[in-house]
Amino acid sequence: MVDPKGTRQTMTALAEILRQRIAQQGPLNLADYIGECLLHPEHGYYTQQEAFGRSGDFITAPEISQMFGEMIGLALGATWQAQGAPKEAIVVELGPGRGTLMSDLRRIAPAVPGFDSLPIHMIEASPRLRKLQSDALPGVIHHSEVSQLPQAPLFLIANEFFDALPIRQFRRKSAGWEEILLGCDANGLCFGKAAPQPYPFLAHRLEDTAPGMIVEYCPALPSIVAELSQRMADHGGAALIIDYGDWRSQGDTLQAVCHHQHADPLAAPGTADLTAHLDFEALYNAASAAGLRPTRLATQGVFLERLGVTQRAQLLAKSLSGAALESHIAAHRRLTHPDEMGGLFKVMGLVPEGAAVPPGLEP
């Protein structure tokens, strides 16, 4: 099999399992490969590694500062109030990491009377992470899939959840697409390609791409968004989706991070985090098809500033000095500055038709 990206991996237990699978069943698409690397029961990254925080491979916004979770909590709480403060509502987080964001949200929740009494539900596939989340938030209710959530108003946050969903990659040809696959050669796992063919879910991308361009497609996104949207359309609620990405998938965005460094996606499978940029257009279309009203896309920095993060930062700074104050100032900048996470990360809200959009995402 041809290796267009020129990559090789070192031997791990998962690499050998994947080589045997390919030998028996043929090449894997990228979604299957990423799924195994992240969630293999014994050798997957999220089942065996400490991924989050300063001891892990990456630091998400909630780990940078408590202000992030506090702003999310106030935004969801205000949205819950605007919808009549339904007592049967639940607060939901997709991919909660160590539970840091929800811990900060729960601490600020009493500022919105009644919001702190709502039960917390989490979508988490990793048993190890479920344990960490339960330790941080006793009484949290876990589910493996969004289809298991109750039929109730959902007030939901998904921060860096969709970027971890496995993606497939396709390279444009003159009248179709060749899918990028994973196979084996004498040196180990390698990238290859399938014969070109049309794919209905990529038909609209023939208009804005040229031969040779790569687009990515997340197979799980439409069904997940449709499931959540159905509940919000039927019962009320709102969702805040925060992730790195842009309006439309363009180019190869698959990346691996190991020990805080960018790595080869095929090097040592199961030991690195694999992510790809979120295609917000696909999110918008899936929610709209299910009857929801997505908001316009905003940058994380603008969203947080509209919610009052700078005023919160100034208040917290009054009790700090020295290195702690410097760290606090740096955290505020990292979350909001256009050259850092403030510009890289985008925010989209999802609400039922006729409902007020979450604060910070007004037109």
The CB-side HSE value for 108 (13 A sphere, CA atoms) comes to 19
Q: How confident is the model at residue 2 (pLDDT cuts 50, 70, 90)?
A: very low
* H helix intervals, the chain: 13-25, 30-39, 45-48, 61-64, 66-82, 100-108, 127-136, 221-235, 280-289, 300-307, 309-317, 322-336, 341-344
Q: How confident is the model at residue 333 (pLDDT cuts 50, 70, 90)?
A: very high
* Residue 182 forms part of a structural domain: no
> What pLDDT does 125 receive?
84
Instruction: Output DSSP code: residue 52.
Output: B
> What pLDDT does 1 receive?
33
Tokens representing 277 are: 């940029």
Q: How confident is the model at residue 188 (pLDDT cuts 50, 70, 90)?
A: confident
Please say if the pLDDT value at position 5 is more than 50. no
> What pLDDT does 47 receive?
79
> What pLDDT does 257 receive?
87
The CB-side HSE value for 84 (13 A sphere, CA atoms) comes to 9
Residue numbers of the domain that contains 304: 65-166+218-265+272-347
Strands 278-279 vs 28-29: parallel, antiparallel or unpaired = unpaired
Give the number of other Cβ atoms within 10 Å of residue 220's Cβ. 14
Report the CATH number at residue 338: 3.40.50.150
Instruction: Output DSSP code: residue 88.
Output: T
Residue pair 122/206 in contact (Cβ under 8 Å)? The answer is: no
* Residue 103 forms part of a structural domain: yes
Say what percent of the chain tops pLDDT 90.
77
> What pLDDT does 94 receive?
97
- Mean of the pLDDT values across residues 78-92? 97
Q: Cα dihedral sign for 221, 222, 227, 233?
A: positive
Higher confidence at residue 11 or residue 346? 346
* Residue 91 forms part of a structural domain: yes
- Mean of the pLDDT values across residues 325-347? 95
Q: Which helix (H) or strand (E) holds 96?
A: none
Taking only the tens place, the pLDDT of each residue in 249-286 is 889 999 998 877 888 999 888 888 899 999 999 999 99
Taking only the tens place, the pLDDT of each residue in 345-363 is 999 999 999 999 999 999 8
* Residue 327 forms part of a structural domain: yes
Burial 199-217 (b: 16+ CB within 10 A, else e): eeebeebeeebeeeebbbb
End-to-end CA distance of the chain: 50
Mean pLDDT of the chain, nearest integer: 91
* Residue 154 forms part of a structural domain: yes
pTM greater than 0.85 (yes/no): yes
Q: Cα dihedral sign for 171, 177, 181, 183?
A: negative
Residue pair 196/176 in contact (Cβ under 8 Å)? The answer is: yes
- Mean of the pLDDT values across residues 96-115? 94
Provide the number of structural domains found in the chain. 1
* Residue 1 forms part of a structural domain: no
Residue pair 164/52 in contact (Cβ under 8 Å)? The answer is: no
Strands 255-258 vs 261-263: parallel, antiparallel or unpaired = antiparallel
> What pLDDT does 21 receive?
93
> What pLDDT does 174 receive?
87
> What pLDDT does 338 receive?
95
Q: How confident is the model at residue 141 (pLDDT cuts 50, 70, 90)?
A: very high
Q: How far is residue 219's CA from residue 198's CA, in Å, rounded to a whole number?
A: 16
